[in-house]
Amino acid sequence: MSHEAIIPTGSAPPLAPYSPGVKVGNTVYVSGVLSMNEVGDIVGADDIKAQTRQVIETIKSVVETAGGSLGDIAFNQIFLADLSDYADMNEVYAEYFSNNPPARYCIRADLVKPEFLVEISSTAHI
């Protein structure tokens, strides 16, 4: 089965050799998303809510470019630099995934740069 790279218009430049998303059949795999704008600058420095919102909006753009919506996401993997940000991240997350939320896990992890507070990777079935 072939796969198609999904690169939404205005995507941040990748920090490594990867595509923002890949579609295989009706499944979309969204790479780990960090809070960056289209030129690679951090969005929401020191603000977990702003970073969470930017990350989910970026995930949304990848899934929509592939022909789906946030409602098609079946699984999210969430990485937090500091678990004390868990409640604030969840507050924003619930705005996007309040009805029939996807399965997920959330762990504490060192992220690729210390200014990033959250990273989320998703799997959607369209």
Residue 18, SS3?
coil
Please say whether the beta carbons of 53 and 100 come within 8 A: no
Q: Which residues are catalytic?
A: 106
Q: Which residue has the tokens 């050799």?
A: 17
Residue-level pLDDT at 14: 81
Closest CA to 33 of 64, 62, 71: 62
Q: Specify the pTM.
A: 0.96
Which domains are assigned to the chain?
3-125 (3.30.1330.40)
Q: Phi first, then psi: what are they for 78, rounded to 5°?
A: -115, 130
Give pLDDT tens digits for 57-114.
999 999 999 999 999 999 999 999 999 999 999 999 999 999 999 999 999 999 999 9
Residue-level pLDDT at 104: 98
Please say whether the beta carbons of 42 and 116 come within 8 A: yes
